[in-house]
Amino acid sequence: MRKISKIGVLTSGGDAPGMNPCIRAVVRTALYNGLEVVGIRQGYKGLIDNDMYEMDRRSVSNILNLGGTILKTARCLPFKTDEGMEQAYQHAKARGIDALVVIGGDGTFTGALRFSRKYPDIAVMGVPGTIDNDLCGSTYTLGFDTATNTVIQAIDKIRDTADAHDRLFFIEVMGRDSGAIALRAGISCGAEAILLPERATAIDDLIANLKEGHMNKKSSSIVIVAEGDKNGGVYGVAKAVQQEVKNYDIKVTILGHLQRGGAPSSFDRILGSRLGFAAVNALIAGESQKMVGLQANHILMTDLEAALNQHEFKLEEDLLQMMDILSI
């Protein structure tokens, strides 16, 4: 079992609500166990630039309710090079860091795995922080619950004005490679159609469904489009439908980055705390190159390499069936 004395913690890639509760749990769990903690600003960029600082209990006071990340985040292309990674390693060693907790998504984990294989004397533990909910080894990732609730609140408000004006709204939500937010938000809001990257939807079928809905005296319609849908994006879909569906006044709304912001939900605050706590305990136990995740309400570990295998990640089949049946 390797002995560690100082943990570096960073957030990388896209920010996600729940990262701050996770940082808090990492810091306080490490300090409780007699370890030192270094906060690394702006992800791997902070390692390369030596932008780090010692953290104590007060460093993470009053951050549970904050969205974003107090450590800031960035995507760092130099970390993909051998030179950048070597510079990051030298700065980490100079600080006495012998373990890292990295909070982020697939890009973050790819960098962490490569770094740990190149420099195995620094243990690495991953925490899944991405609103896309697309990592194997965790039923839910940090930020997904909050982002989905933010989308639901926005769609509920849009539904009010859609109904008042007999309008058809096409609403784009985040999810370049994952339709998780679109699927759950669409079912929660009673969307007439949900377009997902994982499932091809023919425009002709969409048009037929919307026409049928109008014949059944629907006063408004909501179509959710994940940004990774293969029909040319939300504007492309809306334009194709507009040529055939004349009964509705068609509007397009892109929710954009508001989905990343806001105070984390109770679920994400607890999940972040559980995962941060587990990540530190796993490092103390001598683990490395693993991800801590939530499975069947238990915290379990998955090899980073397995967690990155998104081809195995699938949307829930019952939700996909419900999507078609409940929208009729």
> What positions carry a catalytic annotation?
132
Calpha distance 170→311 (Å, rounded): 28
Calpha distance 305→315 (Å, rounded): 20
- Enter the tokens of residue 318: 């019952």
Select from 215, 112, 227 the least CA-distant residue to 170. 227
Calpha distance 167→137 (Å, rounded): 41
Calpha distance 308→320 (Å, rounded): 23
Query: Whats the size of the chain, residue-wise?
Result: 328
Residues 6 or more apart whose CB falls under 8 angstroms from that of 270 comprise: 21
Calpha distance 73→15 (Å, rounded): 7
Residues pairing with 55 in the sheet? 37
- Enter the tokens of residue 44: 């791997």
Sign for the CA dihedral angle at 73, 78, 79, 80 comes to positive
Place of tokens 């941060």: 276
Calpha distance 287→272 (Å, rounded): 19
Calpha distance 59→75 (Å, rounded): 24
Calpha distance 191→170 (Å, rounded): 10
- Enter the tokens of residue 183: 């699927």
Residues pairing with 293 in the sheet? 300
Number of CB atoms found within 10 A of residue 128's CB: 32
